[in-house]
Amino acid sequence: QVRVVESGGGLVQAGDSLRLSCAASGRTYAMGWFRQAPGKEREFVAAISWGGDSTYYADSAKGRFTISRDIAKNTVLLQMDSMKPEDTAVYYCAAGEGLSAKVNAHEYDYWGRGTRVTVSS
Interval 13-22: pLDDT, tens:
999 999 999 9
Question: pLDDT for 28-46, tens place per residue?
Answer: 899 999 999 999 999 999 9
What whole-number distance in Å separates Cα of residue 11 and Cα of residue 117? 6
What whole-number distance in Å separates Cα of residue 85 and Cα of residue 30? 28
Task: Supply the pLDDT for residue 34.
Answer: 98
pLDDT tier at 1 (50, 70, 90 boundaries)?
confident
pLDDT tier at 91 (50, 70, 90 boundaries)?
very high
60 backbone dihedrals φ, ψ, rounded to 5°: -70, -20
Task: Supply the pLDDT for residue 9.
Answer: 96
Task: Supply the pLDDT for residue 81.
Answer: 98
- Residues 89, 73 contacting (CB under 8 angstroms): no
pLDDT at position 74 over 90:
no
Amino acid making up residue 7: S
pLDDT tier at 26 (50, 70, 90 boundaries)?
confident
